[in-house]
């Protein structure tokens, strides 16, 4: 095994946004089994250290590839494109206005204890998210338009944040 290999090669998967989750899970379990500490009980210290490094690398790789947004960011990184998550604040105004309205709606529903409204917001958002991830898949896998993919990732970062806001609000109302 090669510690400098990218996460896709590590799991012998094609370097693409659309991946087979069952395959990812299976390959991850294989790698985990290979580097499991029990197998290195009698090994030298150097070999133990190496197997530990491998286990860490495999965990990190799995975490990254499993979540679509992290996978997209990683593909951008491999293609040499920065998402500019910290510095690019100039999102289209109408998108930001929409995000602000979403956040207001979530805050109001949470303050008013409106469980039903939150569920509806969640449903709408999940539909939006599915459509956006579909577009992102096409931008990466079909046309390899990295600047547009980076913008789509930035939008999705706001939407994922919104998703966790709604989920938090729902949990808070349950309690």
Partner 1 sequence: MSYSEKVIDHYENPRNVGAFGKEEEGVGTGMVGAPACGDVMKLQIKVNKDGIIEDAKFKTYGCGSAIASSSLVTEWVKGKSVDQALAIKNADIAEELALPPVKIHCSILAEDAIKAAVADYKKKHGE
Which parts of this chain interact with partner 1 (CB under 8 A)?
A: 83-91, 93, 95-97, 99-100, 103-104, 107, 153-155, 157-158, 160-162
- The residue among 12, 7, 122, 128 whose CA lies nearest residue 66 is 7
Categorise residue 88: left if φ over 0, alpha if ψ from -120 to 50, beta otherwise.
Answer: beta
Categorise residue 84: left if φ over 0, alpha if ψ from -120 to 50, beta otherwise.
Answer: left
15 vs 154 by CB, closer to partner 1: 154
23 vs 82 by CB, closer to partner 1: 82
Cα(52)–Cα(35) distance, rounded to whole angstroms?
A: 7
48 vs 155 by CB, closer to partner 1: 155
Min separation Cβ 86 and partner 1, Å: 5
157 vs 170 by CB, closer to partner 1: 157
**Can you say whether the dihedral through the CA atoms of 38, 43, 45, 48 is positive or negative?**
negative
Min separation Cβ 163 and partner 1, Å: 10
Min separation Cβ 158 and partner 1, Å: 5
């Amino acid at each position: 095994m090669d510690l400098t290999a990218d996460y896709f090669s590590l799991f012998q998967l094609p370097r693409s946004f659309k991946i087979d989750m069952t395959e990812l899970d299976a390959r991850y379990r294989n790698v985990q089994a290979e580097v499991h500490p029990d197998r290195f009980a009698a090994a030298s210290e150097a070999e133990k250290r190496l197997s530990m490094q491998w286990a860490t690398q495999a965990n990190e790789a799995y975490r990254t590839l499993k979540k679509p947004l992290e996978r997209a960011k990683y593909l951008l990184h491999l293609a040499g494109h920065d998402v500019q998550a910290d510095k690019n604040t100039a999102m289209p105004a109408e998108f930001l206005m929409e995000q602000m309205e979403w956040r207001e709606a979530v805050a109001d529903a949470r303050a008013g204890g409106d469980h039903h409204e939150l569920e509806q917001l969640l449903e709408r958002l999940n539909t939006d998210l599915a459509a956006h991830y579909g577009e992102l898949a096409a931008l990466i896998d079909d046309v390899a338009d990295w600047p547009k993919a980076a913008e789509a990732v930035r939008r999705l970062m706001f939407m994922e944040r919104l998703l966790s806001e709604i989920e938090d609000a729902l949990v808070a109302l349950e309690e």
